[in-house]
């Protein structure tokens, strides 16, 4: 049962071949037996209560396409009843009194929450080794990282211990772990998915999205996630185009005439040969489906790393200032005065990577450095967005690798954070521009010493082009089987 897609599980539920309660029990058992450290909090009683409510909807003939489907939430979304830790000691025992908008909307659709998924602390990282609760293991190779920050989400989908998962992408944190774990994930246009109840890292970059086995599954999930939310000041309005829509509408569209932009900057120095081979093979498959490849350039690609690592830490410094040991979160047990309490609580509550980014962000916002660093980074960010618009004038979508290499070994880049930052070279610019992008499995790499590890193909579109991206991905998945492959033992 756990090998089936969301679309297939929905059909079984509506045909009454399985109940929501039985399906939830099945996944809870798989999650409990897993050794990947993907889940941080599971409460069977809460999940089964939701499953019972879903069964009641089926009995009353009021069930929708996602009713009764289990889903696990990245622990960056607050959830009523389950702990919401953001992967940090700072919030180790925090239980939110309300649900994030994303969680609320899935609940209204009748989905069943399985639990909370591990992530890099406050979504800061590319490997899921920064979690205060231990690293998540990659189900394809337990010596490898699953990617981050949504590593728990990607690992859970790949290991088939959840059919659906929420995730967030600030600089690539949906696409990169989806690539490393061989699953499908999409980051929508910035502002399409509400950030209300999403524990903030970088407010102008954070965006929620779904992960699942297939593009069709992601289309079903994304349809429940988008839409204006008055509680989120960064939420795009309906007048700006942020409306609920059917993202499955283009799944059957043929690809004849599709123009695929191939950036020369994505295939230069630093790209591993095994990753390039898999991505090139995927591009050739699209040509067979009727698409045309167009050479394009995104000249500011290399500048996306310094720009991102100025803007994101600056916003993190501001957002995380609220965690001071006074109102909620970790408080040091011993301190001399209020200032000492602040210092000790934050030093004890935040991990090394979070502390590093707070320090960098505070520095670039200081008087005398704001214009030299932060303001200049924002200007280059605008130029990066302009690069994409110029490129998309000659093509319909852009394709390339998600990351320069397959997943690296656990601990390999722990003492070299800059090396880990460089691994985001192909995803950061999309986030800085606010464009939608996704990752789909397209093969395996041989460039590691512990066996095959997945490779993802990145597909980038213009603003509000999510349905187009999902349709293109779906057509590829109809003629390939990379998305159906599962790790040994699954």
Distance of alpha carbon 403 from alpha carbon 15, whole angstroms = 41
3-state class (DSSP) for residue 116: strand
16 Rama sector, left if φ>0, alpha if ψ -120 to 50, beta otherwise: left
Q: Which residues contact 230 (CB under 8 A, 6 or more apart)?
A: none
Catalytic residues: 74, 149, 173
Residues 6+ apart with CB under 8 A from 390: none
Give the span between the Cα atoms of 87 and 35, in whole angstroms.
18
Is the separation of the CB atoms in 276 and 268 below 8 Å?
no
Strand pairing partners for 337?
none
Measured from the Cβ of residue 23, the count of other Cβ atoms closer than 10 Å reads 24
d(CA 111, CA 114): 10
Strands 184-187 and 112-117: unpaired
- DSSP H/E element including 431: helix 428-433
Residues paired with 454 in a beta bridge: 444
Q: How many CA atoms lie within 13 A of 373 on its CB side?
A: 19
């Amino acid at each position: 049962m756990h090998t089936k897609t969301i679309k297939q599980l929905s059909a079984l539920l509506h045909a009454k071949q399985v109940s929501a309660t039985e399906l939830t029990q099945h996944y809870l058992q798989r999650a409990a037996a897993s050794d990947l450290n993907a889940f941080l909090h599971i409460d069977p009683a809460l999940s089964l209560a939701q499953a019972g409510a879903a069964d009641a909807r089926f009995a009353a003939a009021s069930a929708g396409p996602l009713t009764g489907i289990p889903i696990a939430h990245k622990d960056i979304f607050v959830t009523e009843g389950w702990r919401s830790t953001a992967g940090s000691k700072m919030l180790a025992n925090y239980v939110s009194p309300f649900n994030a908008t994303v969680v609320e909307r899935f609940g209204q659709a009748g989905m069943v929450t399985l639990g909370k998924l591990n992530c890099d602390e406050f979504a800061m990282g590319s490997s899921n080794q920064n979690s205060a609760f231990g690293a998540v293991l990659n189900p394809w190779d337990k010596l490898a990282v699953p990617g981050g920050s949504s590593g728990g989400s990607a690992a859970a989908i790949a290991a088939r211990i959840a059919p659906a998962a929420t995730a967030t992408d600030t600089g690539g944190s949906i696409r990169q772990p989806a690539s490393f774990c061989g699953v499908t994930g999409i980051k929508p246009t910035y502002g399409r998915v509400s950030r209300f109840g999403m524990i903030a890292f970088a407010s102008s970059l954070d965006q929620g999205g779904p992960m699942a086995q297939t593009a069709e599954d992601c289309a079903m999930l994304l349809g429940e996630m988008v839409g204006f939310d008055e509680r989120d000041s960064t939420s795009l309005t309906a007048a700006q185009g942020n409306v609920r829509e059917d993202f499955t509408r283009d799944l059957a569209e043929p690809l004849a005439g599709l123009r695929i932009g191939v950036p020369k900057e994505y295939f230069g120095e630093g790209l591993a040969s095994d990753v390039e081979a898999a991505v090139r093979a995927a591009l050739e498959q699209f040509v067979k489906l009727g698409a045309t490849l167009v050479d394009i350039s995104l000249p500011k690609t290399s500048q996306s790393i310094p720009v991102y690592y100025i803007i994101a830490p600056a916003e993190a410094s501001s957002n995380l200032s609220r965690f001071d040991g006074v109102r909620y979160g970790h408080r040091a047990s011993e301190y001399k005065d209020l200032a000492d309490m602040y210092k000790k609580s934050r030093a004890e509550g935040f991990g090394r990577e979070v502390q590093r980014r707070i320090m960098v962000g505070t520095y670039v916002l200081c008087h005398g450095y704001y214009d030299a660093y932060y303001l200049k980074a924002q200007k280059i960010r605008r130029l990066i967005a302009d690069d994409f618009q110029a490129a998309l004038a000659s093509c319909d979508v852009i394709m390339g690798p998600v990351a320069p290499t397959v997943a690296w070994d656990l601990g390999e880049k722990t003492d070299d954070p800059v090396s880990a930052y460089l691994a985001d070279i192909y995803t950061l610019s999309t986030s800085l521009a606010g464009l939608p992008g996704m990752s789909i499995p397209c093969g395996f790499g041989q460039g590691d010493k512990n066996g095959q590890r997945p490779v993802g193909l990145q597909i980038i579109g213009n603003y509000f082009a999510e349905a187009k991206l999902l349709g293109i991905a779906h057509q590829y998945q109809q003629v390939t089987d990379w998305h159906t492959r599962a790790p040994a033992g699954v």
